[in-house]
Structure 1
Amino acid sequence: MTADPLIPLLRAAAEAVLSRPTMAGHTGGAERFAADHRAALLDMLAQSDDLRRLCRERLRIPRSRQAERDFAGLLLHADPEVRAAAVRFAQTADGRQADATADRGIRRLRDRNKQLQERLRTATGRLDNALADMEANRQTAREAGERAERLDAELSATRRRLRDPASTASALLALLQEEPREPEGDSRSRDPHLRREPPPAPLPSPLETAARLAEISPESFARALRALIEPPVPSATVVVSQERDLRVVPLGGGTGIGGSCLLVEAGGTRVLIDAGLVPGDPSRPPADIGQALDGPLHAVVVTHAHNDHCGYVPALTDRLPDLRIIATPETTQLMPAMWLDSVKIMDQRRRLADTWSVDTEPLYPREAVAEASRRCEELAFGVPRRIGDLTVELFPAGHILGAAGVVVRAGESRVVITGDISGFRQESVDGYAVPESAHYADLLVMESTCCAENHREREGMVGELVRAVEGIYAQGGRVLIPAFALGRAQELALVMRSHLPHVPVLVDGMAADISRSFEAVTADGPHPLSVFGGNVGRARPGDMDRFTRGVVISTSGMLSGGPAVRWAAKILPDPKSALFLSGYQDEESPGRRLLISAQSASPHLIVDDMGEERKIPIRARVDMMRLSAHADRRGLLEIADEVSAHEVMLVHGEARRQAEFREVLRLRRHTTTGTGSWRVS
């Protein structure tokens, strides 16, 4: 027989009780009190948090006395069921138990504790799963709400535009001036060498068909529509020839990427070509936009729907009630979704700023998006449109769906602005087509994003990406490709669908919504696009855990937020998987940090996802698989040679690279001018 293993704990409990003022007159000591009040002290230990706390502070049991430590741990346990079981066992003993009896009791209590812990783990797991499902449902509801909001805004804008004669005439004129589609047939019927009969007469254009039905000439029909679109110039206004000279001033994106904005002036007319935001920062307008707002502003011509070229347009329409917005039909339909995404990001940043008492205001309210959408005028390629003393004409620029270059004319003076441009055919869009009206212009304003690079042939870059994805898929892994929502994501999905039809592909985030827009915008055109179908589908809630093998294309392209960050948290720790960056990464972006971190001794990536900092270990393969949608050095030289302008100005690039490329242009006998204010000589 051994000593009662409860004695140290009971003594500590007795000392705690006797230390209270109400027990000041008690004599006999703690050991006597513990012996006389054993049952009462056990009950008090089971019920009193304060007594257990005091006992923990006083109790000191050597490690060698394991039985006493075990009993004390059970009677001071946080779980009331464990304490109650320990008390019941202790109260059945007489204080002088055999070691075997004590051991059996302790084993039973340990088993009970283990059962309770297992139940707790099961309940915790169920709770975690329920919370995860709840968060997935919340995310789904948020995304559905955002999609509904975008669709509602687009529908409302369409209704307002249909009620506006100028907008309706603009859309109708753009539709009528499209090139007629060739009749369908097999390859033999289209081969002129095999034809035995004269080829059929060319189809009449939509404009000719509409004019014939209206019983007027096509020129008169088009003139009537233009009269509805173009505000009349007051007859009292007389502008002398010298005042019509063109003036060009870059207001943003001159020696940097993004925030693109170019002011073109002639006579009393002032027009912006693009008005974009700085990538990754929806609160930064074009750097010198104030110069445009110092005087009247009549229109903004948007080259394409990327936010670094169009994101500031709603802020302008919010301030200028008569501002016209001119773009291709595809661009006018894609811009509202991009603007609403900017509003969402600005609202999120404002809420975070409010939390830290930082003063920040969105650049424009949500209502400005609807108004800007209503004011959009569709302009088909190759069709001049007058804006006061200026005439603008759009031409295909490649790059992304709907992207355009611009020819601006004032009298005999002409400026050509390429916008973002590419000459190679992509899955989603053909290359640029410079019109006759651009040849021998006074000034060529040319983007220079990739002026220091000579890209490999596009087929080679696509082949490298396809082989890399195939290798990861073969070893049972996932590939995450963060991509810009507009253009790059659709191009990647189409590449996967064309070259890897056996590999499952998910498109997530805003990229999925824009992909649906791509399909809708091109459905009735000569080259309808089907992004979804076959092996390509839209990501659903729970896919981050269920989708264990294949390709994920998700926003944002620089890992600055969105579902791509959450996918990265799942995929980067997996050595069988890979993350391939596919486009430009700003110096301060998480994507650029990822490329650098992947080469370090203990690689990890720290990202901010809606105010929550994540530290993600990097065990997956990380690489740059760039499928650029910009012309490289060779391509830019070909554009300069084809236009053969009197002077060339470089914009939308890094200053150091631009300086080197100017020297290359000069060696090719092109006259260059610095990125700054220019006037026709």
Structure 2
Amino acid sequence: LKYGERFSIKDLQFTLLNAGHILGSAQALIEAEDKRILYTSDINDVDTCLLERLSKCRDPLDAIIVESTYADVDHPERSELEKEFVESVIDVIEGGGNVLIPAFSVGRSQEVLTVLSKWNFPYPITVDGMAVDATQIFLKHIDWLRDPELFRRAVGKANWVSGWRDRRLLLKKNGVIIAPAGMLKGGTAVFYAEKLAKSSNNAIYLVSYQIPGTPGSELLEKGRFVIGGKIRKVKADVKRFDFSSHIGMSGLKKFLSELEGSPIIYTVHGEAEKCQTLCKYARDLGFEAYVPKIGDVYEV
């Protein structure tokens, strides 16, 4: 299926619009009985190195189901974030250390790899774990990316881990290691974190949201790494860089204010207070708005 092309299933018509979240992510415009409903799914209103921002629906809507993940917080300006991130990584490597970047296999690993390439990062970059296979999928669909040539160049400069011998050798060299899982709940990132956390020359840079209670959250908030039930002290530098692929507070407000028609708004995909926050803002704009609970039924 391609973005912008309408297709039908019996009496329902669907059009997929770019969501800007991950490769292939889509908003779904559903038309039936002279009604139009848009389900945004996860959306992003900022161009990233990998993807173009969301496509806006220009048709008048009767209802919209919209995500609320960051309804009460904004993300940092993207180019400044990238610059700060790359400079921090370079500082660690030029100081004789390694940088571990725990990242989601799909999307975040490829974004970080491309950010480093965009800023002409001069040191070795190695990708490990499921991110290796995921990157191959991105290459198969490279025409869906915002800058295929930049991504191709980033992939061409990277090193790819094929086994435990490679992993152990990596620890003896200076460079960047991109490995899942993004919250350190598993994957090869756990192996690297356990080793690299012991030295103040190294760094562990988190690039995604850390759910409370996850090892990544413990590391970020308490400066400790819990593995196998044991608490390990962390000497490495630990920071989080907000490379979110979700729309932020200001973007959500702008998104709602520019909707065509007078749709009923349903706020979902967010903590309860964030759904309520976005619902209140929608009502302040004059929309009828609700925070659905599981099992609720609405008629449009």
Confirm or deny that 1:623 pairs with 2:239.
yes
The 2-side partners of 1:416 and 1:524 are apart by: 22
Map 1:321-336 to 2 at 5 A: none
SS in 1 for 2:283: helix
Match of 1:560 in 2: 185
SS in 2 for 1:666: helix
Map 1:34-53 to 2 at 5 A: none
The amino acid of 2:32's aligned partner reads A
Confirm or deny that 1:448 pairs with 2:64.
no
The 2-side partners of 1:679 and 1:383 are apart by: 28
Match of 1:405 in 2: 27
SS in 1 for 2:16: strand
Confirm or deny that 1:679 pairs with 2:298.
yes
Match of 2:2 in 1: 380
The 2-side partners of 1:649 and 1:525 are apart by: 30
The 2-side partners of 1:526 and 1:434 are apart by: 17
Match of 1:590 in 2: 215
1:640: Cα distance to partner? 1.3
Alignment counterpart, residue 570 of structure 1, candidates 195, 217, 242? 195
Match of 2:176 in 1: 551
The 2-side partners of 1:412 and 1:582 are apart by: 43
> Deviations 1:586-630 (Å, cap 9, x if unpaired)?
2231111112221xxxxx32124xxxx554320001111120110
Structure 2 unmatched ranges of 5 or more: none
Match of 2:248 in 1: 632
1:524: Cα distance to partner? 8.8
User: Whose RCO is larger (CA < 8 A, sep 6+)?
Assistant: 2
TM-score normalised by length of structure 2: 0.91
The amino acid of 1:629's aligned partner reads S
Alpha carbons of structure 1 residues 429 and 618: separation in structure 2 relative to 1, 3 Å = same
SS in 2 for 1:466: helix
Structure holding more strand per residue: 2
Given that residues 51 and 145 in structure 2 are in contact (C-alpha distance below 8 angstroms), is that contact kept between their aligned partners in structure 1?
no
Match of 1:664 in 2: 281
1:521: Cα distance to partner? 1.7
1:639: Cα distance to partner? 1.7
Given that residues 482 and 553 in structure 1 are in contact (C-alpha distance below 8 angstroms), is that contact kept between their aligned partners in structure 2?
yes
Structure holding more helix per residue: 1
| Larger Rg, first or second structure (1 or 2) | 1
> Deviations 1:165-197 (Å, cap 9, x if unpaired)?
xxxxxxxxxxxxxxxxxxxxxxxxxxxxxxxxx
Match of 1:471 in 2: 91
The amino acid of 1:672's aligned partner reads A
Alpha carbons of structure 1 residues 523 and 443: separation in structure 2 relative to 1, 3 Å = closer
The amino acid of 1:533's aligned partner reads G
The amino acid of 1:616's aligned partner reads R
Structure 1 unmatched ranges of 5 or more: 1-378, 599-603
SS in 2 for 1:533: helix
Match of 1:504 in 2: 124
1:668: Cα distance to partner? 2.7
Match of 2:111 in 1: 491
Given that residues 104 and 180 in structure 2 are in contact (C-alpha distance below 8 angstroms), is that contact kept between their aligned partners in structure 1?
yes
The amino acid of 1:502's aligned partner reads P
1:575: Cα distance to partner? 0.4
The 1-side partners of 2:145 and 2:182 are apart by: 28
The 1-side partners of 2:275 and 2:21 are apart by: 20
The 2-side partners of 1:592 and 1:525 are apart by: 31
Alpha carbons of structure 1 residues 680 and 666: separation in structure 2 relative to 1, 3 Å = same
The amino acid of 1:643's aligned partner reads L
> Deviations 1:521-550 (Å, cap 9, x if unpaired)?
22698853324112x221243344333211
Confirm or deny that 1:522 pairs with 2:142.
yes
The 2-side partners of 1:539 and 1:642 are apart by: 46
- Tell me the C-alpha RMSD between the 2 structures: 1.9
The amino acid of 1:679's aligned partner reads Y
> Deviations 1:81-104 (Å, cap 9, x if unpaired)?
xxxxxxxxxxxxxxxxxxxxxxxx
SS in 1 for 2:100: strand
Identity %: 29
Give the number of equivalent residue pairs: 291
The 2-side partners of 1:526 and 1:543 are apart by: 32
The amino acid of 2:168's aligned partner reads D
Given that residues 269 and 275 in structure 2 are in contact (C-alpha distance below 8 angstroms), is that contact kept between their aligned partners in structure 1?
no
The amino acid of 2:210's aligned partner reads Q
Match of 2:45 in 1: 423
SS in 2 for 1:408: strand
SS in 2 for 1:532: helix
TM-score normalised by length of structure 1: 0.41
Alpha carbons of structure 1 residues 415 and 523: separation in structure 2 relative to 1, 3 Å = closer
The 1-side partners of 2:177 and 2:145 are apart by: 28
Match of 2:155 in 1: 532
SS in 2 for 1:646: strand
Given that residues 76 and 242 in structure 2 are in contact (C-alpha distance below 8 angstroms), is that contact kept between their aligned partners in structure 1?
no
1:649: Cα distance to partner? 0.9
> Deviations 1:116-151 (Å, cap 9, x if unpaired)?
xxxxxxxxxxxxxxxxxxxxxxxxxxxxxxxxxxxx
Map 1:112-127 to 2 at 5 A: none
Given that residues 560 and 591 in structure 1 are in contact (C-alpha distance below 8 angstroms), is that contact kept between their aligned partners in structure 2?
yes
The 1-side partners of 2:147 and 2:198 are apart by: 41
Alpha carbons of structure 1 residues 567 and 525: separation in structure 2 relative to 1, 3 Å = closer
The amino acid of 1:390's aligned partner reads L
The 1-side partners of 2:123 and 2:230 are apart by: 30
The 2-side partners of 1:614 and 1:606 are apart by: 5
1:462: Cα distance to partner? 1.1
Alpha carbons of structure 1 residues 402 and 642: separation in structure 2 relative to 1, 3 Å = same
The 2-side partners of 1:593 and 1:524 are apart by: 36
Alpha carbons of structure 1 residues 524 and 386: separation in structure 2 relative to 1, 3 Å = closer
Alpha carbons of structure 1 residues 560 and 525: separation in structure 2 relative to 1, 3 Å = closer
Map 1:106-505 to 2 at 5 A: 379-436=1-58, 439-505=59-125
